[in-house]
Amino acid sequence: MATVSGPSSGSLGPEFSKLSGAGPSVKTTGMSDHDHDHDHDHGSELSEMQIRVRALETILTEKGYVDPAALDRIVEAYETKIGPHNGARVVAKAWVDPDFKRRLLEDASAAVGTLGYVSRVGDHLIAVENTPQVHNMVVCTLCSCYPWEVLGLPPVWYKSAPYRSRAVKDPRGVLTDFGIALPKQMEIRVWDSTAETRFLVLPMRPKGAEGWSEEKLAELVTRDSMIGTGFAKDPAEIAP
Ligand code: FE
């Protein structure tokens, strides 16, 4: 039996136990970032982060700062409407429409906006193009900044400390871990996202998809290919 201790319960104060519904002693799954000198039994349903999020949500709701129904709609949007399929459409359009590609590389926020994907206020989206000479890869070394409007929710590994530090120190090694082997002479550029500036990788269009429709091409564009930790799919994988 593990207990949530230290800054998480302490900083949230007495309301925490009310929110967690489990009294002062709450089991966790041990998914937190803090240093552990105690044992977890990994037996509960909620991670410490989930408990903290619930606690915050309940406090903000009780104080009237947020409307739970509005939160539900936002979460639903990210679960069902906003995801990497949006970015895939952007990439596929850039592959078939040279004018759109030029606008995308010039000002990705504006170009993506013309397709109806609106970024949050203050975000500035930059598209970086992979070529036979240059491979681009995106990280947020500080936390987990990510182009949500085109890629949806970030994968868990994107937020992990090893990815965030190694992507900068050893990008080639990280790519190898992802199964990506690049020629030695290929330059790797690593882009560090911030709260203001997000990056979208424009992967190379794979050979073997000549004459494909934009819609069909979008099926080749994976989330990882737009982060730079993968390539677009081989058309043979999805060809009828
Ligand atoms: Fe960040």
Number of H helices, E strands in the chain: 13, 4
Model confidence pTM above 0.75: no
Domain 82-238 has CATH 3.90.330.10: yes
Selecting among 8, 9, 109, 140, the annotated active-site residue is: 140
Residues 56-101 have pLDDT tens digits of: 989 999 999 988 888 888 888 877 888 899 999 999 999 999 999 9
Which residues keep their CB under 5 angstroms from ion ligand 1?
140, 142-145
Residue 121: predicted pLDDT = 57
Residue 21: predicted pLDDT = 36
Residue 49, classed as helix, strand or coil, is helix
**Residue 221 near residue 203, CB atoms below 8 Å:** yes
Residue 138: predicted pLDDT = 98
Q: Name the residue type at position 67.
A: D
Q: How far is the CA of 70 from the centre of ligand 1 (A)?
A: 24
Selecting among 8, 44, 145, 193, the annotated active-site residue is: 145
CA-to-CA separations, 211 to 18, 141, 217, 218, 236, in angstroms, rounded: 60, 39, 9, 13, 14
Taking CA 209 as the corner, what is the angle to CA 205 and CA 212, rounded to the nearest 5 degrees? 110
Radius of gyration in angstroms for the set of CA atoms belonging to the chain, rounded to a whole number: 21
Residues 33-58 have pLDDT tens digits of: 444 444 445 556 888 988 998 899 89
Question: Which segments of the chain have a pLDDT < 50?
Answer: 1-40
Residue 18: predicted pLDDT = 34
Ranges in the chain annotated CATH 3.90.330.10: 82-238
